[in-house]
Chain A
Amino acid sequence: MELKDFKQRNISPGYIFFEGEKAPETGWQAFQKVVKRTLKGELFVGLWIVFREMIRFDIHTIQYPAQKMEMSPRYRAIHRLLRLFESGSERCIGCGLCEKICISNCIRMDTHIDEKSRKVVSEYSINFGRCIFCGYCAEVCPELAIVHGVEYENASEQRAHFGLKADMLTPLDTFRANEQKEFPGFGALSDNADEAVKQTPLAY
């Protein structure tokens, strides 16, 4: 493609082109337009719709905060760090891929070696002042450890209140109550993931 292809704005048939209202040419036409608009009563169109809906009692509005909206799994809100279903251990291995891929450079983690000589993530933070909720971190995570939650109520005295490991990690009591759900949304494995994988031969 060349530059001229981008400048070509011919759109295929099927579109209806709206040329817009003709601009008044003479003073008389302009006067006519003003009178027409003033006396048309468009103001009452909106008022009528409100009134009609009110007397129907068929209300679509959610009664927030008494009612809350169910978000789609693909919604990208404040992140969550998940635990392994089998053991309850943290899934995050500290590979640092989210830190690397983050385009607003807002993820940081501290890792060290523990007494069992495993790599542990001692602190994990997302700077939500910078985060653009693009979802790359969830997509790149090889362990499905970091996912986007559906929690959209982010009012607090400080943004940092959501961005530390303790805030994001599934609390143990929630986990024990089997309330941690596998994340089907952004970055999750596809249903046919097993078929797409080439298997490595094993000598056992």
Chain B
Amino acid sequence: MSDVLITIDGKQYTATEGEYVLGVARRNDIFIPALCYVTNCSPTLACRLCLVDIDGKRAYSCNARAKEGMNVITKTEEIEKERRAIMEIYDINHPLECGVCDQSGECELQNYTLHMGVDSQHHCIADTHRPTKQWGKIHYDASLCIVCERCVTVCKDMIGESALKTVPRGGAELDKTWKDKTEKDAYAMWNKLQKSIIGIASGAETLDCTQCGECTAVCPVGALVGSDFQYTSNAWELKKIPAANPHSSDCSLLYYDVKHTSTSNPEPKIYRVNSDHNYAPLHAAARYGFDFQNEVTCKDETAFARVVELLQTNVDTIVFDSYITNEEALILQKLKEKFGFKLVNEDAKAYQNFLKHFASTAGSNLYSGDLKSVSESNFVVSFGTAIKTDSPNAGYAMNNAIGMNKGAGLYFHPVADPIVSAYSKNLLSITHKIGAEEAIAYLLLDLFGDKETMPKSVVDYLTSFHTIEKKTIQESVKEDIKEMVKDEESGEEKEVVKTITKMVDKEIEVDTNALIELIGAEADLVEKITKLLDKKDSFSLIAGEDLFNHPRAENIAKLLGLIERFTAFKLLIIPSRTNTLGVSLICDLDDAKGNFSLGYNVKGDFTLSALGKGDLDMPALNQQEGTFTSMNKRVVPTNAALPFKGYCLNDIANAVGLEAEWTIDYTPYLPSEKGFKAEKFDHLPNRFENDGTENRGYALELQTFTCKDEVEPISSFTCKEGDVVYRANPVHQFSAFTNKAHQLSEAGALYASTAFLEAKSLHDGAVVTVENEAGAKLVIAVKEEKMIDGLIAYLPTFDTKIDTAPFFKEGYRFAHVVIKGVEHV
């Protein structure tokens, strides 16, 4: 792709050849109206508002590609007339209920109607009864819908579920006489509008998708809104507080929309979560899991005095999880330096070790990719993560890459996932054996590694898996045969050429890769991958949580380091919790607990809890300001949406001798040797630029150092017979915090596929016991989970009432158990 110069409204701009003109214009702050286009998705050409004049011809800027010397005029009298006519058509039969509509005030139909100066209506057509639909957390009011198809587009191109489609409206036929009286594009748009409406692709009664709610975010009018938010507040009353997703490591930009609770209660309340849908999608937990705040009425002085006293006397360990800010992590680290506490955080420790081993062979302390590099690549591989639930945003980036860049991808996971498999027909899902991740890493090195530069020992090891056999196969060969045919009438002899097919034995070389069998994939895997690799030139690899506590984690990390160095893959190693990356960089973590532990959001001998279940209440992440380190290796700021009336960690630290007025005073002191910058919190930006650049906080600086090449061979692993459970959360849940939110609150269960239920002859809601060899036992209900397949059920961690920890003692996400149905008496 080369740079070209194009002229827009008399000014020259550089653009990448083949880029959409609308994108170039938006990047350079030139306004072209558009209702149906969503950035990073395919143009639908439903609204036709982005009509421009290109070299004297009418074109739609959302799908016109930039060419050298192109001359674009965004506004002429004719175009303005056409746009006004289009908006007038959109206003036909649109209910005049702006007074009650949730979108009023931020409605694009309102905006463009005023912008184009539509002050009277010349058209009319009989309206069709379009009933409203309640689709779970999403409310669809078909009468408000202008069928711009943004929801359909974003669901397919960004989210990857294609849960929505346009269905026939059954509306009145357009009177042909309108054609002469109406502008051309407006008429064509009307013709299409009159025929369709949005419906559920599968034909079910309610939306059977993951309900991420991105369709409600993109809807320009009030047709798709969150059911919970509906009719509770006008858009302009809400104060937008920019923050970062507190539930998972994508830390996407979101806005908490805050207003007073009610006429009689002036305390602020979060009404909904909003996002910049053009730049970054949000997953369901971020969108619906906003009210997880810890409400306290006053400062608990006795409990506070007790913590301070304990810190100075008994405490020798602080146990915590990674749902904290960078600043809090730094406070804990400073406490460690001052008092010699042990810092114990299991998941950050695993991640820290993994990165350490990764760095030893990669030569860089961090991986090179991020979500943007994933969505810009055209071959994406995911392994070691149940991507749909572990990091939905990584899944969206993967789907976006495959869909928009004519890409392809591979998804390696032992738990088959019909949602991920449905992203694209160019996505190959490989349901591999449990424990085969090491072999997969070797397979990736074998398939994609640059054998010339790779260490010889590794190349030799990889060659040892290949056996080249000579095989005889029968091949059909076409052969031309000349024949003399005698014409019966004239008696003349003619030469005729005939083609016949012959079966010929042929000897070929068949390269069998033993790794394929080792991971439990089908034999033609390499062949299929080669087919997918056609015309692919940019590669990204997503690796995740399964690997960090894998029995062979160290070696897998080193192999990933080699993959980073010797293949074209850009790596993204997804941190398992919101700020796992930040904690692993800031804190010096220890392995074992001491005698007396102070727990922060984790059960300890004395517990500080933002869930409100401990001895001293702490603010939840929507009540704190600070920064997170996201999977994009960015330090992103988050702000407090709600007040907290109790004590925070900084108060405790101040009481034992650290000095800082606010927690965010620590932001400039985050360790610079780990890549943090000495930037003050208040100077950190938190927005997307018009061209889609993520101008949020700052990017960590990578460090490079000389690296080793030593890796170990694959250690043999065996799949034991019997039941296996996987540690994962259902699609809306990440932690106890998401489960606290009123829209997401649910009871945990053993989530099992339909196939599992059939195999075990169980039914949805049946009670089972889960036992392991060590004697841990759990009685739990089974829930049918249609979003997985295969015979591995999963146990969640979001429900604090279910203690699943004894089954995953080693930290590895797969555990052997015995699952038995409980007989009802």
Beta-carbon contacts of B122-164 to A below 8 Å, as 1s and 0s? Answer: 1111110000100000000000000000000000000000000
Give chain B's interface residue range (CB within 8 Å of chain A): 20 to 34
CA distance A64 to B120 in the complex (A): 53
The interface stretch among A4-12, A68-76, A89-97 is A89-97
Q: For B231, what are the chain A residues with a Cβ–Cβ distance below 8 Å? A: 94, 111-113, 119-120
Q: Counting CB contacts under 8 A, is B263 at the interface?
A: yes
Q: Taking A96-B234, A113-B231, A119-B231 as contacts, is the C-beta distance between A203 and B99 under 8 angstroms?
A: no
A109–chain B nearest beta-carbon distance, Å: 7
Q: Counting CB contacts under 8 A, is A99 at the interface?
A: yes
Closest 7 CB pairs of A and B: A95-B99, A96-B234, A119-B231, A201-B124, A119-B100, A203-B124, A113-B231
Known pairs A95-B99, A118-B100; list 8 more (Cβ under 8 Å).
A94-B231, A95-B98, A99-B237, A110-B262, A113-B232, A123-B264, A142-B99, A203-B127
Beta-carbon contacts of A164-204 to B below 8 Å, as 1s and 0s? Answer: 00000000000000000000000000000000001011111
B135–chain A nearest beta-carbon distance, Å: 14
CA distance A203 to B174 in the complex (A): 11
Q: Taking A113-B230, A203-B125 as contacts, is the C-beta distance between A198 and B99 under 8 angstroms?
A: no
Which of B100, B119, B236, B263 is within 8 Å of A94, CB to CB? B100
CA distance A32 to B273 in the complex (A): 82
Q: For B125, what are the chain A residues with a Cβ–Cβ distance below 8 Å? A: 203
**Which residues of A line the B interface, CB within 8 A?**
93-97, 99-100, 108-113, 117-120, 123-125, 142-143, 198, 200-204
Q: For B262, what are the chain A residues with a Cβ–Cβ distance below 8 Å? A: 110, 123
Beta-carbon contacts of B723-737 to A below 8 Å, as 1s and 0s? Answer: 000000000000000
- Inter-chain contact B100/A95, CB cutoff 8 Å: yes
CA distance A125 to B260 in the complex (A): 13
Q: For B264, what are the chain A residues with a Cβ–Cβ distance below 8 Å? A: 123, 125
**Which residues of B line the A interface, CB within 8 A?**
98-100, 104, 119-127, 132, 172, 230-234, 236-237, 260, 262-264
- Inter-chain contact B121/A201, CB cutoff 8 Å: yes
B265–chain A nearest beta-carbon distance, Å: 10
- Inter-chain contact A198/B132, CB cutoff 8 Å: no
CA distance A155 to B274 in the complex (A): 45
CB-nearest residue of chain A to B119 = A198
CA distance A109 to B520 in the complex (A): 62
Q: For B122, what are the chain A residues with a Cβ–Cβ distance below 8 Å? A: 201
B353–chain A nearest beta-carbon distance, Å: 51
B382–chain A nearest beta-carbon distance, Å: 40
B94–chain A nearest beta-carbon distance, Å: 11
With contacts defined as CB atoms under 8 Å apart, how many contacts are there between chain A and chain B in the complex? 61
Q: For B132, what are the chain A residues with a Cβ–Cβ distance below 8 Å? A: 117
CA distance A142 to B96 in the complex (A): 12
- Inter-chain contact A108/B234, CB cutoff 8 Å: no
| Dominant secondary structure at the B interface | loop
Which of B230, B232, B234 is within 8 Å of A99, CB to CB? B234
B124–chain A nearest beta-carbon distance, Å: 4
Q: Can you offer 20 A-B residue contacts whose CB atoms are under 8 A?
A: A93-B99, A94-B100, A95-B99, A95-B104, A95-B234, A96-B236, A97-B99, A99-B237, A100-B237, A109-B263, A110-B263, A111-B232, A113-B230, A120-B231, A123-B262, A124-B263, A200-B124, A201-B121, A201-B122, A203-B172
CA distance A93 to B126 in the complex (A): 26
- Inter-chain contact B126/A203, CB cutoff 8 Å: yes
CA distance A113 to B652 in the complex (A): 44
A198–chain B nearest beta-carbon distance, Å: 5
Q: Taking A93-B99, A95-B100, A124-B263 as contacts, is the C-beta distance between A111 and B233 under 8 angstroms?
A: yes
CA distance A101 to B262 in the complex (A): 19
CA distance A63 to B496 in the complex (A): 129
- Inter-chain contact B234/A125, CB cutoff 8 Å: no
CA distance A125 to B234 in the complex (A): 16
- Inter-chain contact B100/A93, CB cutoff 8 Å: yes
CA distance A100 to B234 in the complex (A): 10
CA distance A120 to B232 in the complex (A): 9
CB-nearest residue of chain A to B120 = A198
CA distance A126 to B791 in the complex (A): 61
- Inter-chain contact A112/B121, CB cutoff 8 Å: no
CA distance A96 to B103 in the complex (A): 13
B190–chain A nearest beta-carbon distance, Å: 13
CA distance A66 to B7 in the complex (A): 81
Q: For A204, what are the chain B residues with a Cβ–Cβ distance below 8 Å? A: 126
CA distance A138 to B465 in the complex (A): 83
CA distance A170 to B29 in the complex (A): 52
Q: For A198, what are the chain B residues with a Cβ–Cβ distance below 8 Å? A: 119-120
Q: For B126, what are the chain A residues with a Cβ–Cβ distance below 8 Å? A: 203-204
Q: For B99, what are the chain A residues with a Cβ–Cβ distance below 8 Å? A: 93-95, 97, 142-143
A168–chain B nearest beta-carbon distance, Å: 13
CA distance A196 to B237 in the complex (A): 32
B611–chain A nearest beta-carbon distance, Å: 28
Q: For A109, what are the chain B residues with a Cβ–Cβ distance below 8 Å? A: 263
CA distance A125 to B237 in the complex (A): 15
CA distance A99 to B232 in the complex (A): 14
CA distance A109 to B233 in the complex (A): 9
A161–chain B nearest beta-carbon distance, Å: 14
A89–chain B nearest beta-carbon distance, Å: 14
Q: For A99, what are the chain B residues with a Cβ–Cβ distance below 8 Å? A: 234, 237
CA distance A173 to B122 in the complex (A): 45
CA distance A100 to B232 in the complex (A): 15
B451–chain A nearest beta-carbon distance, Å: 64
CA distance A143 to B353 in the complex (A): 66
CA distance A143 to B237 in the complex (A): 20
CB-nearest residue of chain A to B98 = A95
CB-nearest residue of chain B to A114 = B231
- Inter-chain contact B263/A123, CB cutoff 8 Å: yes
Q: For A118, what are the chain B residues with a Cβ–Cβ distance below 8 Å? A: 100
CA distance A99 to B235 in the complex (A): 12
Q: For A125, what are the chain B residues with a Cβ–Cβ distance below 8 Å? A: 263-264
B357–chain A nearest beta-carbon distance, Å: 54
Q: For B121, what are the chain A residues with a Cβ–Cβ distance below 8 Å? A: 200-201
CB-nearest residue of chain B to A92 = B99
